[in-house]
């Protein structure tokens, strides 16, 4: 124990014969009071000489005060004292009842409350199973220590920042963050000014921007970030400087607490001879590359994952259908067909060249996605909507695409979207508005429930697919992932949950924080959820979608529950792949149907 005043409290008389001293004892009571007792009389007690802690049973009388330590490790007198007010008249109320002490508040509340528990550039999240992790672009300074849950040494950068002749550094946007005090604070008119000032200073590690009624303020951190905590109710949006090369999908997935499920479809049945394949027409028993004999589909057939059978691949009929359709379609948001070739079993389409490939190659690449600012993404959404409106209403033929997804949206040199792949499209004649098929083909995750489960499709099936694409574009998340993994929510379920909780803004891709127009973003969330409603009759037409997206004053309808799916575990998915779900919200996988 530490005492600020040094004096003799008690000592034994050597060689004395007085029995009174032999009866003097020192005891540390359960209350924490250190007492000196002789014949049941307290000669001295530590409760009369408090230091920095007030314990139950102490009396804070006149002239007695509590004094803080200089620091957690230094017991020297600090800067703060606590004592009874000697100036004002105090009123004391004594209740003649038996009471007990109850703990109302204490510090540290948990491990994250301990200053810099995870070390520099380490982030503490009290809700995670692993309480400490390095920020994206950083790694443990001493990994062996981290394996033993010793995080004090923190994290270091994987690559240095501010390197000449290298692509400009990027800022990772982290929400609801608590961090140590900034090195400097100044007034700036916009977040972009903060960003540029930080980029111009090679020692700048991070910045934050806060727009208040008094004045917009920028805060800069030039030293290593410390005492970082996540999920703080009144936390700030912190922008951490990271080299573009160090922003990889695995780091972002870990940070966002999202899991992308790479589902492997069920393999063909195992066999010993071709007789074992009688239950799977158009297949014979053959050796596979892994040395296992399986029932493999004959030529011109391929394994159908939804029917667990051999089904015809894309034949001449589908190919000619695609050629005829595309040749008749002329719209700036539809891909242009230049030619085709058929030779034997080989079939080839020649499209106009799309230098930026497909939308998904940008959207789900954690390096390339930063190139898709909000304006580009919003224009892409509008372009896809106008392309679908043309197919459904404005072209000479009413066409249902049936396979709209991000990989079927191509981008030209100016990032204009063009819908492609009409191999599964269907023409509706006259006043036809819907149809039914026994051959369900497409991509689960984008297919509407009524089509995936019952083979029923209409223009509202494309509307559903469009809604999924919208939510993927604005969130940067795949509909094949788990979000809030403890609840196993698909993207649609996650978006619906945030919408109900009035937290739709949290769905935004973190790379959009600096460029996003909030009103347009919330409008896209609203429209996306309207498009993925369970009942196709509740979904808007594409003409209504285009109007809602383009109108800043229109009052949008409130969406009903999304037709989201709650996926089960991977093991249960594999074992139940041959069984059709009984309810829409039990669809378990997102798989691409081969053609």
User: pLDDT, tens digit, for every residue of 358-369?
Assistant: 999 999 887 888
Please give the span between the terminal C-alpha atoms of the chain, in angstroms, as a whole number. 78
Least confident interval from 76-90, 146-160, 185-199, 580-594 = 580-594
User: Crossing angle for the helix pair 518-531 and 374-389, nearest 10 degrees?
Assistant: 40
What's the confidence (pLDDT) of residue 520?
Answer: 94
What's the confidence (pLDDT) of residue 268?
Answer: 56
Least confident interval from 93-97, 128-132, 154-158 = 93-97
Do 199 and 168 contact (CB within 8 A), yes or no? yes
Question: Mean pLDDT, to the nearest integer, of 412-427?
Answer: 86
pLDDT at 353 over 50: yes
The SS3 of residue 258 is: strand
| C-alpha triplet 364, 369, 374: angle, nearest 5° | 120
Helix (H) or strand (E) holding 57: none
What's the confidence (pLDDT) of residue 24?
Answer: 84
Question: Mean pLDDT, to the nearest integer, of 569-589?
Answer: 32
What's the confidence (pLDDT) of residue 359?
Answer: 94
Question: Mean pLDDT, to the nearest integer, of 89-94?
Answer: 63
Angstrom distance (rounded) from CA 550 to CA 517: 14
- DSSP class of 279: T
The SS3 of residue 435 is: strand
Least confident interval from 17-21, 244-248, 310-314, 500-504 = 17-21
What's the confidence (pLDDT) of residue 557?
Answer: 92
Among 545, 215, 275, which residue's Cα sits nearest to residue 384? 545
Label residue 6 by pLDDT band (50, 70, 90). Answer: very low
Angstrom distance (rounded) from CA 153 to CA 141: 6
Angstrom distance (rounded) from CA 277 to CA 269: 8
Angstrom distance (rounded) from CA 28 to CA 35: 6
What's the confidence (pLDDT) of residue 269?
Answer: 65
Q: What kind of fold does domain 362-586 have according to CATH?
A: Transferase(Phosphotransferase); domain 1 (1.10.510)
Express as a percent the part of the chain with pLDDT over 70.
Answer: 72
What's the confidence (pLDDT) of residue 468?
Answer: 95
What's the confidence (pLDDT) of residue 543?
Answer: 92
pLDDT at 265 over 60: no
Active site residue 519: no
What's the confidence (pLDDT) of residue 313?
Answer: 60
Angstrom distance (rounded) from CA 142 to CA 144: 6
Q: Widest CA span of the chain, in angstroms?
A: 121
Interacting residues of 324 by C-beta distance below 8 A, sequence separation 6+: none
Angstrom distance (rounded) from CA 475 to CA 434: 31
Beta strands in 203-329, from DSSP E residues, in sequence order: 206-210, 217-221, 228-229, 236-242, 258-260, 283-287, 293-297, 301-304, 309-312
pLDDT at 254 over 60: no
pLDDT at 39 over 70: yes
Using the CB atoms, write b or e for 552-569: b if 16+ within 10 Å: eeeebeebebbbbbebee
What's the confidence (pLDDT) of residue 233?
Answer: 66
Beta bridge partners of 243: none
- DSSP class of 277: G
Question: Mean pLDDT, to the nearest integer, of 440-444?
Answer: 65
The SS3 of residue 35 is: strand
What's the confidence (pLDDT) of residue 594?
Answer: 38
What's the confidence (pLDDT) of residue 94?
Answer: 59
Express as a percent the part of the chain with pLDDT over 90.
Answer: 23
- Mean of pLDDT over the chain: 77
Do 149 and 156 contact (CB within 8 A), yes or no? no
More confident residue, 379 or 14: 379
Label residue 262 by pLDDT band (50, 70, 90). Answer: very low
Do 542 and 508 contact (CB within 8 A), yes or no? no
User: Crossing angle for the helix pair 374-389 and 542-550, nearest 10 degrees?
Assistant: 150
What's the confidence (pLDDT) of residue 545?
Answer: 95
What's the confidence (pLDDT) of residue 583?
Answer: 30
Do 297 and 285 contact (CB within 8 A), yes or no? no
- The residue assigned the tokens 């030619």 is 339
| C-alpha triplet 408, 563, 308: angle, nearest 5° | 65
505 burial (CB, 10 Å; 0-12 / 13-18 / 19+) is middle
pLDDT at 577 over 90: no
Beta bridge partners of 242: 170
The token pair that represents 44 in the structure block: 């001295």
Angstrom distance (rounded) from CA 254 to CA 156: 17
pLDDT at 232 over 90: no
Going from N- to C-terminal start, the domains of the chain cover 19-83, 111-256, 362-586
User: pLDDT, tens digit, for every residue of 165-203?
Assistant: 655 688 887 877 889 999 999 888 888 889 889 988 889
Of the segments 33-42, 389-398, 516-525, which one has the largest average pLDDT value? 516-525
Question: Mean pLDDT, to the nearest integer, of 460-468?
Answer: 94
What's the confidence (pLDDT) of residue 3?
Answer: 46
What's the confidence (pLDDT) of residue 454?
Answer: 75
Angstrom distance (rounded) from CA 391 to CA 400: 7
Q: What is the CA radius of gyration of the chain?
A: 34
Angstrom distance (rounded) from CA 40 to CA 44: 12
Please pick, among 52, 73, 360, 403, the residue that the annotation labels catalytic.
403
More confident residue, 65 or 165: 65
pTM of the predicted model, to two decimals? 0.48
Helix (H) or strand (E) holding 294: strand 293-297
3-class SS string, 157-221: ECCCCCCCCCCCCEEEEEEEEECCCCCEEEECCCHHHHHHHHHCCCCCCEEEEECCCCCCEEEEE
Q: How far is CA 77 from each of CA 62, 69, 106, 472, rounded to the nearest angstrom?
A: 20, 5, 21, 57
Label residue 544 by pLDDT band (50, 70, 90). Answer: very high
- The residue assigned the tokens 């039914």 is 436
What's the confidence (pLDDT) of residue 360?
Answer: 92
Q: Is the dihedral of CA 385, 387, 390, 393 positive or negative?
A: negative
What's the confidence (pLDDT) of residue 429?
Answer: 56
Q: Is the dihedral of CA 228, 232, 235, 236 positive or negative?
A: positive
């Amino acid at each position: 124990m530490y005492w600020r005043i040094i004096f003799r409290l008690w000592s034994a008389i050597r060689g004395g014969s007085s029995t009174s001293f032999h009866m003097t004892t020192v005891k540390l009571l359960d209350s924490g009071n250190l007492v000196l007792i002789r014949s049941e009389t307290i000669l001295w007690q530590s409760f009369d000489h408090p230091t920095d802690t007030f314990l139950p049973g102490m009396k804070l009388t006149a002239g007695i005060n509590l004094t803080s330590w200089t620091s957690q490790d230094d017991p020297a007198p600090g800067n703060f004292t606590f004592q009874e007010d000697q100036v004002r008249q105090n009123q004391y109320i004594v209740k003649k009842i038996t009471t007990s002490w109850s703990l109302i508040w204490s510090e540290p509340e948990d491990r994250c409350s301990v200053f810099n528990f995870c070390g520099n550039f380490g982030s503490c999240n009290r809700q995670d199973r692993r309480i400490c992790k390095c920020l994206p672009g950083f790694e443990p300074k001493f990994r062996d220590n981290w394996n033993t849950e010793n995080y004090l040494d923190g994290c270091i950068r994987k690559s240095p920042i501010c390197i000449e002749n290298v692509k400009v550094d990027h800022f990772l946007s982290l929400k609801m963050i608590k961090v140590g005090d900034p090195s400097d604070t100044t007034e700036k008119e916009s977040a972009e000014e903060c960003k540029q000032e930080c980029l111009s200073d090679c020692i700048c590690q991070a910045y934050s921007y806060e727009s208040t009624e008094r004045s917009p303020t920028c805060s800069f951190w030039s030293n290593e970030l410390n005492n970082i905590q996540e999920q703080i109710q009144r936390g700030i949006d912190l922008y951490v400087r990271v080299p573009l090369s160090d922003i990889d999908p695995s780091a972002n997935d870990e940070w966002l607490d999202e899991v992308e499920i790479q589902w492997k479809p069920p393999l063909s049945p195992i066999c010993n001879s071709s007789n074992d394949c009688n239950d799977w027409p158009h297949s014979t028993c053959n050796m596979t590359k892994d040395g296992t004999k399986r029932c493999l589909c004959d030529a011109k057939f391929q394994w159908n994952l939804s029917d667990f059978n051999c089904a015809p691949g894309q034949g001449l009929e589908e190919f000619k259908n695609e050629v005829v359709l595309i040749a008749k379609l002329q719209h700036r948001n539809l891909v242009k067909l230049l030619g085709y070739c058929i030779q034997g079993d080989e079939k080839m389409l020649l499209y106009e060249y799309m230098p930026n490939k497909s939308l998904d190659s940008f959207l789900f690449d954690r390096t390339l996605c930063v190139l898709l600012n909000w304006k580009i993404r919003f224009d892409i959404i509008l372009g896809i909507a106008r392309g679908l409106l043309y197919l459904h209403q404005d072209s000479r033929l009413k066409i249902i695409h049936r396979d709209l997804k991000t990989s079927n949206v191509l981008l030209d040199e100016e990032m204009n979207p063009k819908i492609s792949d009409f191999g599964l499209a269907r023409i509706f004649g006259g006043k036809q508005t819907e149809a039914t098929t026994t051959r369900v083909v497409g991509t689960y995750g984008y297919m509407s429930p009524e089509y995936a489960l019952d083979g029923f499709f209409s223009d509202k099936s494309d509307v559903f697919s469009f809604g999924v694409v919208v939510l993927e574009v604005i969130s940067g998340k795949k509909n094949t992932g788990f979000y809030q993994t403890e609840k196993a929510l698909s993207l649609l379920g996650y978006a619906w949950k945030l919408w109900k909780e009035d937290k739709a803004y949290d769905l935004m891709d973190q790379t959009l924080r600096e460029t996003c127009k909030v009103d347009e973003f919330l409008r896209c969330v609203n429209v996306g959820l309207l498009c993925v409603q369970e009942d196709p009759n509740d979904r808007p037409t594409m003409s209504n979608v285009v109007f809602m997206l383009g109108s800043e004053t229109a009052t949008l309808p409130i969406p009903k529950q999304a037709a989201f799916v709650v996926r089960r575990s991977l093991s249960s998915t594999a074992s139940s792949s041959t069984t059709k779900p009984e309810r829409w919200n039990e669809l378990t996988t997102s798989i691409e149907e081969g053609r």
